[in-house]
Amino acid sequence: MTIAENIRRIRRSAGMTQEEFGRLAGVSSMAVSQWENGRAVPRMGAVEKISLALRIAKSDIIEDGALSDDAGLAAKEHGRFPSGRFSTKGAPMAKVPLVGNTHAGKPCLPEELDEFPEVLVPQFLLDRDPGSYGLEVDGDCMDRICPPGMVAVVQPGVPAKSGDVVVATIDGADSIMRRMTVINGDLILSPESHNAGHENMYIAAQDDRQVHVEHVAYFQSREAF
């Protein structure tokens, strides 16, 4: 993996735009774009800022090859599961409410949960969207990128776009987590599972069903809390 690919994957894994990533690194969004296109490489000062903010090794940014075992995991890029996770040890953290489950089981209010009514996540997620909340992933419909039992951080203030992982409710039913694709107004909600029994869900543009989707920005295991 090249330096450009490292930076692109780290940024997308953190669920950040080029502008947000640039602010974190102390550079412009144009500089980030040049890094990701291979037209320039980051200076060491920017590398150190990224490393400190995201708690990853500098070598994960500037060396060719796959990310090391202690490097990042957040929102996944095109369903590919990185080799490790962002370590949150020592990073600025903040609490978000764990409001229920997604994919299987009825959502429930935080006060109805016996365990983990709040979870700790990296502060930069709340800086991006103070309305962020957590959902425990229940079921195997997305286990290629997010095993059951992990917590998905949902950011309702971040517009969901085609290609994103989303949490969706259809006609107010239980929430499900899927990869969303939008084609000419038609909505496709696709599983990314080792279980071949899960199928795509199609909602045509003219369908009168009420669909609500919210952007999933980050996955984190319980062990990190």
Chain length of the chain: 225
List helix spans (H) across the chain.
Answer: 3-13, 18-25, 29-36, 44-54, 59-62, 123-128
The domain that contains 6 carries what CATH number?
Answer: 1.10.260.40
Q: Say yes or no: 46 and 99 in one domain.
A: no
Out of 87, 119, 144, a domain closes at 87
pLDDT at 222: 58
Q: Which of 25-29, 96-100, 186-190 shows the lowest mean pLDDT across its residues?
A: 96-100
Task: Count how many domains the chain has.
Answer: 2
Contact 26, 49 (CB under 8 A): yes
Q: Say yes or no: 50 and 115 in one domain.
A: no
Is it the case that residue 219 has pLDDT exceeding 90?
Answer: no
Is it the case that residue 107 has pLDDT exceeding 70?
Answer: no
Confidence of residue 31 (pLDDT cuts 50, 70, 90): very high
Q: Say yes or no: 186 and 103 in one domain.
A: yes
Q: Say yes or no: 5 and 105 in one domain.
A: no
Q: Say yes or no: 133 and 80 in one domain.
A: no
Contact 129, 158 (CB under 8 A): yes
DSSP 61-83: HHSSSSPPTTS--SS-BTTBPPS
Confidence of residue 103 (pLDDT cuts 50, 70, 90): low
Is it the case that residue 65 has pLDDT exceeding 70?
Answer: no
Q: Say yes or no: 57 and 128 in one domain.
A: no
Distances (CA, A) of 225 to 68, 93, 114, 121, 128: 21, 10, 16, 8, 20
**Region at 202 (left for phi over 0; alpha for psi -120 to 50; beta for the rest):** beta
Q: Say yes or no: 191 and 100 in one domain.
A: yes
Q: Say yes or no: 105 and 80 in one domain.
A: no
Higher-pLDDT residue of 164 and 76 is 164
pLDDT at 89: 55
Is it the case that residue 104 has pLDDT exceeding 60?
Answer: no
Confidence of residue 92 (pLDDT cuts 50, 70, 90): confident
Tokens of 21: 């990533």
Mean pLDDT on 33-55: 85
Q: Say yes or no: 72 and 103 in one domain.
A: no
Q: Say yes or no: 100 and 210 in one domain.
A: yes
Out of 47, 62, 87, a domain closes at 87
Domain of 71?
1-87
